[in-house]
Amino acid sequence: MSDTSYTPPKVWEPKESGGKFASINRPVAGPTHDQELPVGKHPFQLYSLATPNGVKVTVLLEELLALGKDAEYDAWLIKIGDGDQFGSGFVEVNPNSKIPALMDRSGDKPIRVFESGSILLHLAEKFGAFLPSDPALRVETMNWLFWQMGSAPYLGGGFGHFYAYAPEKIEYAIDRFTMEAKRQLDVLDRRLAESRYLAGDDYTIADIATWSWYGQLALGRLYDAAEFLDVESYTHVQRWAREIDARPAVQRGRMVNRTFGEPETQLHERHDASDFDTQTQDKLGG
């Protein structure tokens, strides 16, 4: 057991907490500075970063384009470590100051869309794709989409934070969230033992959302925790994760707004389909 000598005061006051991302945490909302957002030529303007929540949206946009839908987009980089999410223009699109945020400029009036699940639903409904029309399959897609939205904070904010980012390793916190992360992986493994995809035979926005977190976790890409969580033992999750990972649109979507990893996998901004061939960091020499 870790020593927990902290006694909370009567009224909490903010203080320096240490740990990765501590510099961008604050107890209030709203903008910290004036900063207009850039607007490109395409119907969809995405303001994002290639975290799992960001990747969900770029994968769906690339999948829609691969289907021949009119889903062309500009993807602008939001550097959350630099506080870009607290700029006034970003806060107008997402009052919650988190990526991803989308402006749908395809109609008469721009529509703001925030929360990655809301963005996936908006795009899937608009284009009639990756969301079944059969009522039972549609609700099963929603079930897993909302499951992912509710579950991932325990994985990212809970397990990932205390295992990888907190300034000290707190056994109680790591045990609590490891238990939950493994339980969630088992939920998925049991579902994927009986079904090719989460909602049935078809690949949907529920798979895109869930793959970005749990698929990438199973493939060893999150928190350097593959061995600790024994991800290989979730064999059905592995089968599903690898199948989705092989999709060309998924491989492209992962590259957009990516500022880490091998230079040839980093496309900081995407404004044209050809950017994947010409604008990656290895080509730009960055």
Ligand X SMILES: N[C@@H](CCC(=O)N[C@@H](CS)C(=O)NCC(=O)O)C(=O)O
Interface with ligand X (CB under 6 A): 24, 51, 53, 80, 85, 97-100, 115-116
Rg of the chain, C-alpha, whole Å? 19
Q: Tell me how far, at minimum, the Cβ of 265 lies from ligand X, in Å.
A: 18
85, 99 Cβ separation under 8 angstroms: yes
| Tokens coding 126 | 């608009």
How many other CB atoms sit within 10 Å of the CB of residue 30?
10
Q: Tell me how far, at minimum, the Cβ of 14 lies from ligand X, in Å.
A: 15
229, 276 Cβ separation under 8 angstroms: no
Question: Helix (H, G, I), strand (E, B), or coil: what is residue 202?
Answer: coil
59, 253 Cβ separation under 8 angstroms: yes
Helices (H), 128-225: 135-153, 171-194, 205-210, 216-218
Of 80 and 256, nearer to ligand X (C-beta) is: 80
Of 97 and 266, nearer to ligand X (C-beta) is: 97
Q: Tell me how far, at minimum, the Cβ of 99 lies from ligand X, in Å.
A: 4
Of 45 and 97, nearer to ligand X (C-beta) is: 97
For residues 1 and 34, give the distance between their C-alpha atoms in angstroms, rounded to a whole number: 46
Q: Tell me how far, at minimum, the Cβ of 209 lies from ligand X, in Å.
A: 8
Q: Tell me how far, at minimum, the Cβ of 131 lies from ligand X, in Å.
A: 17
Of 21 and 172, nearer to ligand X (C-beta) is: 21
Of 99 and 267, nearer to ligand X (C-beta) is: 99
